[in-house]
Structure 1
Amino acid sequence: MFLALLRSETAASPERRAAALAGLRAYQDAPRPAPQPPMPAIARAGRATLRDYGGDGAPVVFVPSLINPPVVLDLDAENSLLRWLSRRGVRPLLVDWGTPTPDDRAQDVTTHVEQLLLPLLAALDRPPILVGYCLGGTMAIAAAVAAKAAGLVTIAAPWRFAGYGDALDPISALWDEAHATCEQLGLVPMEVLQSGFWQLDPKRTVAKFERFARLELASAEARAFVTLEDWANGGAPLPFAAGRELFDDFFVADLPGNGRWRIAGAPVDAEALGIPALSFVSTTDRIVPAASAARLGDVRELAMGHVGMIVGGRARAALWQPLADWLTALPAPR
């Protein structure tokens, strides 16, 4: 899939194609450090676990996307939002969705909220603050409607899927092509989802490997690229039903944005939460365009990319610190 994209984007420039291929080979051959051990689990629901990052204060449950691993919030020892927050009066807890198998084929996004996320929250001794990133933010909104929460933060969380505009056409075409195979597998492989991300910004996909070919492999910049690219290309598959609901009911039918998504039998009315809320919205995000993002409570706009707002060089000042300030200023939940 990447090679087909590369041929298309560099058809008029053999030099660029050669540079991108050299960068791809250098990335494949780059050394990798040993992965960080997972933090202790304090609750389980099915294959999902809730991992404790320590710290003081009210419990703050971070809900990552079902797409790509949750470790983007704990990328490495030097670039970890969760570990940083745990030293600043916050007690971060991370939802780890686990790895689905074909036996989980009937678990859609709604089921993940109802049967995995809500039981994890119920295991806590007091209502948590929910922080959801990307699709995890969409799910955190639903959980905040269905269960008692002390507050809600969304970070680049899609909600009004009609806001994707013309980008919906290639997304729909991708699902039309992959649907039958995914249904047979009972899973949506990460490669299917990744090819969709590549199509949102093909020029950048090629250019980043061209640029990597010029870096010294021992440099901090090269190591950071490898760590982030491994995260972007990794991750468990989605259960087939989760992929179907995401593509058909969210992207095409826009059930959340139209107020027709239901959790535990009730519609998810994001505007009627009645709890403190904060939304970070990126004005330059191609994965979750600003027109599609949730805007609840205090809305902060950032001119940063979808991933850069979490792990980029400006993330600490632009998002980490404002998030810590907002979380620690909330009244203690009862």
Structure 2
Amino acid sequence: MDTSPTPVFSALAQPNAASQHGPRPLPLFLNILWRETQDDPELRRRAFQGLRKYQEASRPSPPPAPPTFASSGGARLLRYGADNGRAPVVFVPSLINPPQVLDLSPSRSLLRHMGAAGHDAYLVDWGVPAEHDAALGLDGHVSERLVPLLQSLARAPILVGYCLGGNLAIGAAASMETRAVATIATPWNFDGFPAADRDQIATLWQGAKPMCERLGYIPMEVLQSGFWAMDPARTIRKYAAFTEMHAGSEEERAFLAVEDWANGGPPLTFGAGRDLFEEFYAANASGLGRWHIGGKRIDPADLTCPTVSIRSAQDRIVPAAAAPEMAEEVTLALGHVGMIVGGNARQRLWDPLSQWLCTHGG
């Protein structure tokens, strides 16, 4: 009997293969909606209205794509700035969900803001994993994808990692010359997560692992179901609130853009998913100094370049207690996604980060 991974990457992973205005997975969302509103028929009615409005709403055209500066495997380095003689600034997004959260729309784009501020800014696009990438772990994403992209630059870069991208940025900085490192909402010390959340993630992985191992990847729907499980009530309430947003308003456009981003994206390689669930969430390898790349232990305390850890006291996805300890620490009062694209993001994060980058040569 053939037990090799099923060759379905190309069929399921193409980000624009089919337009499904989720939420994904829709059956699970409907199950959560029904359960969370069983004692509140009015909330149920409004949530269903918000769901239908979301699915049927027209979407504006996305911003024009920036040019590709370099590529490595399926990953690309997209350029948003221009050579100014200073250190290039490379933004490293999470492997989970598309990188577009950092370039969400013309008015909510951290990358375009940085380019306009004069930084030679770049964004890593991890792309769609190929069938032969199934075993590519988090260490491989650093050594075989990120580091080769960074080595294409003429100068040592400043790295800015968002969420899991911060882990990969720290790994890259430990592997090559780097001017400075900033992490945003990065999960490093997994003992800082509530025990209930880690137990929930462990249960999710236990149920999904056999199927994911057979496929060779972790479908986005598996990851999304884990996020929903952390706060199912909020998941439903936000769709109920969407019902009241005025058609064509900035508020409505922002909701659509964020939800489309959260419901989209290619799968995670099985190797990276296994590392995330078993080595990071379960064993806290990064927080305990047991994560290695190429035989080298990765510890942010060992970095000799300037570093800053930006976390949030209101982050439900990555608690402030889970963030890495760096030379500088900043705590915000914004959500995990809100600190990147929210109405206060420019004032609270974008501009202060731009100033920090200038201070350290970017």
TM-score normalized by the length of structure 2: 0.90
Q: Kindly tell me the number of residue pairs found equivalent between the two proteins.
A: 332
CA deviation after TM superposition for structure 1 residue 3, in Å: 1.1
Alpha-carbon distance between aligned partners in 2 of 1:213 and 1:147, rounded to the nearest angstrom: 49
Contact 2:161–2:184 (8 Å) recurs in 1: yes
Structure 2 residue corresponding to 1:157, chosen from 182, 186, 194: 186
Q: Percent identity among equivalent residues?
A: 51
CA deviation after TM superposition for structure 1 residue 329, in Å: 1.2
Report the more deviating stretch, 5-14 or 129-138: 5-14
CA deviation after TM superposition for structure 1 residue 278, in Å: 1.2
CA deviation after TM superposition for structure 1 residue 109, in Å: 1.0
Query: Helix, strand or coil: the match of 1:34?
Result: coil
Q: Does 1:270 pair with 2:300?
A: yes
CA deviation after TM superposition for structure 1 residue 298, in Å: 1.2
Query: Helix, strand or coil: the match of 2:221?
Result: helix
Q: Does 1:114 pair with 2:140?
A: no
Alpha-carbon distance between aligned partners in 1 of 2:347 and 2:246, rounded to the nearest angstrom: 27
Matches of residues 95-106 of structure 1 in structure 2 within 5 Å?
95-106=124-135
Alpha-carbon distance between aligned partners in 2 of 1:89 and 1:224, rounded to the nearest angstrom: 26
- 1:25 maps to a residue whose letter is R
Alpha-carbon distance between aligned partners in 1 of 2:253 and 2:69, rounded to the nearest angstrom: 32
CA deviation after TM superposition for structure 1 residue 103, in Å: 2.5
Structure 2 residue corresponding to 1:38, chosen from 54, 65, 71: 65
Matches of residues 174-185 of structure 1 in structure 2 within 5 Å?
174-185=204-215
Alpha-carbon distance between aligned partners in 1 of 2:67 and 2:361, rounded to the nearest angstrom: 27
CA deviation after TM superposition for structure 1 residue 15, in Å: 1.7
Contact 1:152–1:275 (8 Å) recurs in 2: yes
Alpha-carbon distance between aligned partners in 1 of 2:155 and 2:358, rounded to the nearest angstrom: 16
Cα distance per residue 1:26-84 (max 9 Å; x no partner) = 00000011223321111111111111102433200110000011011111111111111
CA deviation after TM superposition for structure 1 residue 217, in Å: 2.2
Cα distance per residue 1:70-105 (max 9 Å; x no partner) = 011111111111111112131111111001133211
Q: 2:276 corresponds to which residue?
A: 246
Contact 2:87–2:361 (8 Å) recurs in 1: no
Structure 2 residue corresponding to 1:130, chosen from 120, 138, 159: 159
Alpha-carbon distance between aligned partners in 2 of 1:331 and 1:320, rounded to the nearest angstrom: 17
Contact 1:156–1:294 (8 Å) recurs in 2: no
Alpha-carbon distance between aligned partners in 2 of 1:12 and 1:102, rounded to the nearest angstrom: 46
TM-score normalized by the length of structure 1: 0.97
- 1:48 maps to a residue whose letter is A
Q: 1:21 corresponds to which residue?
A: 48
Cα distance per residue 1:237-294 (max 9 Å; x no partner) = 0011111110001000111001000012110021010110111110110100111111
Contact 2:280–2:286 (8 Å) recurs in 1: yes
Alpha-carbon distance between aligned partners in 2 of 1:121 and 1:255, rounded to the nearest angstrom: 25
Report the more deviating stretch, 184-193 or 96-105: 96-105
Q: Does 1:326 pair with 2:356?
A: yes
CA deviation after TM superposition for structure 1 residue 223, in Å: 1.3
Structure 1 residue corresponding to 2:199, chosen from 169, 185, 194: 169
Q: 2:79 corresponds to which residue?
A: 52
Report the more deviating stretch, 15-24 or 30-39: 30-39
Contact 2:81–2:118 (8 Å) recurs in 1: no
Alpha-carbon distance between aligned partners in 2 of 1:109 and 1:7, rounded to the nearest angstrom: 37
- 2:70 maps to a residue whose letter is A
Q: Does 1:300 pair with 2:327?
A: no
Query: Helix, strand or coil: the match of 1:49?
Result: strand
User: Could you list the runs of 4 or more consecutive aligned residues of structure 1 that deviate by over 6 angstroms after TM superposition?
Assistant: none
Alpha-carbon distance between aligned partners in 1 of 2:299 and 2:99, rounded to the nearest angstrom: 26
CA deviation after TM superposition for structure 1 residue 5, in Å: 1.1
Alpha-carbon distance between aligned partners in 2 of 1:303 and 1:264, rounded to the nearest angstrom: 37
RMSD in angstroms over aligned alpha carbons?
A: 1.1
Q: 2:3 corresponds to which residue?
A: none
Contact 1:53–1:91 (8 Å) recurs in 2: yes
- 1:268 maps to a residue whose letter is I
- 1:319 maps to a residue whose letter is L
Report the more deviating stretch, 287-296 or 126-135: 287-296
